[in-house]
Amino acid sequence: MLKAFGFEPSILVLAWYVSVLVVASTITYLLLEHYYQFAVRYMFPALALFILGWFYTNIGHLGVNEGVLGLLRGISGILIGCLTYNASGWVNKNIKKNEAISVAATIIEMLIFTYIFHQFAKKNSEDFFTLFLFAVLMISIFNFDSYLTRAFNMPLSGFLGKISFPMYLNQKIFIILAQKYLPGVSFWPVVLCIILVDFILSLCTERLTAFAVPKVAAGCRKLMKEEKD
In a domain, 205, yes or no: yes
Residues lower than pLDDT 70 in the chain: 1-15, 121, 226-229
What sign for the dihedral angle of Cα 58, 63, 66, 70? positive
Residue 5, pLDDT score: 46
> How many structural domains are present in the chain?
1
CB 176 within 8 A of CB 190: no
User: Cβ of 23: how many Cβ atoms within 10 Å?
Assistant: 15
The C-alpha atoms of residue 190 and residue 176 are separated, in whole angstroms, by 11
Residue 228, pLDDT score: 63
In a domain, 187, yes or no: yes
The C-alpha angle with vertex 53 and arms to 48 and 56, in degrees rounded to 5, equals: 130
Residue 229, pLDDT score: 59
In a domain, 197, yes or no: yes
CA torsion 135-140-142-145 (nearest 10°) is -170
Boundaries of domain holding 181: 155-229
The C-alpha atoms of residue 157 and residue 164 are separated, in whole angstroms, by 10
- Half-sphere exposure of residue 182, counting CA atoms within 13 Å on the CB side? 15
- Half-sphere exposure of residue 155, counting CA atoms within 13 Å on the CB side? 0
Residue 4, pLDDT score: 46
In a domain, 195, yes or no: yes
In a domain, 21, yes or no: no
Q: How far is CA 123 from the centre of its chain?
A: 17
- Which residues lie closer than 8 Å to 167 by C-beta, 6 or more apart? 198, 199, 202
In a domain, 216, yes or no: yes
Residue 10, pLDDT score: 52
In a domain, 228, yes or no: yes
In a domain, 41, yes or no: no
Q: How far is CA 10 from the centre of its chain?
A: 21
